[in-house]
Amino acid sequence: MKLSLTVNGDPVSVEVSGHESLLTALREGLGLTGAKDGCEQGECGACTVILDGDAVCSCLVLAADAEGSTATTVEGIRSGPGLHPVQQAFLERGAVQCGYCTPGLVVAAAHYLDSADDPSPTDLREALSGNLCRCTGYGSVFRALESVLEGRA
């Protein structure tokens, strides 16, 4: 079946099978390989995208259910022509080790920070609770994100 949706601001169409996940459609059908296939069970957060305003694990979304939706992947997270403040902070603060979880963390953090009226470090940690990192121990990730919060003050 042909799936039509808006991805990163652009209308797209992609052929999908009836059992295919949104993650597979994004990666294999559209070549957007930022979201990672970590567990296929919604446990690790590596495949996090924003779908119709909500951060979701794209491995759990049936592609067909995304018909007519709007999705933003890590490739579409940015602030104007430059990087999103979360992406910039990850670079500047060395919040990346192997990088596998990074796209999901960036999308989840950016979504929280862009939608929260009064973001706090505690709430930010809660917003990232569904994203697993096996390399960093989260210290560098949280230091990077706290620098974003400080920059907003």
How much is the pLDDT for 136?
74
Both ends of the chain: CA-CA distance in Å? 48
Instruction: Place 153 in a pLDDT band, splitting at 50, 70 and 90.
Output: low
CATH architecture entry for 2-76: Roll (3.10)
Which ranges in 14-84 belong to alpha helices (H)?
22-24
3-state secondary structure (DSSP) of residue 48: strand
How much is the pLDDT for 80?
79
- With tokens 């957007």, the residue in question is 32
- Contacts of residue 18, defined as CB under 8 A and 6 or more positions apart, other chains included, come to 1, 64
How many Å apart are CA 7 and CA 100, to the nearest integer?
21
Given a contact cutoff of 8 angstroms between Cβ atoms, the answer to whether 85 and 79 are in contact is yes
Given a contact cutoff of 8 angstroms between Cβ atoms, the answer to whether 70 and 6 are in contact is yes
**Rounded mean pLDDT, 18-40:** 97
**Rounded mean pLDDT, 19-26:** 98
The string of pLDDT tens digits covering residues 106-135 is 999 999 999 999 999 999 999 999 999 988
How much is the pLDDT for 81?
86
Q: Is pLDDT at 145 greater than 80 in this prediction?
A: yes
Given a contact cutoff of 8 angstroms between Cβ atoms, the answer to whether 105 and 38 are in contact is no
Burial status of residue 81 (CB atoms within 10 A of its CB: 0-12, 13-18, 19 or more): exposed
Q: pTM of the prediction?
A: 0.94
Across 23-27, 122-126, 139-143, the highest mean pLDDT is recorded for 23-27
Q: What's the Cα-to-Cα distance from 112 to each of 94, 115, 117, rounded to whole Å? A: 21, 5, 10
For the chain, the average pLDDT equals: 94
DSSP state of 21: B
CATH number for the domain whose boundaries are 78-152: 1.10.150.120
User: Hey, where are the domains in the chain?
Assistant: 2-76, 78-152
Closest CA to 112 of 127, 97, 95: 127
Q: Is pLDDT at 149 greater than 90 in this prediction?
A: yes
**Rounded mean pLDDT, 46-73:** 98
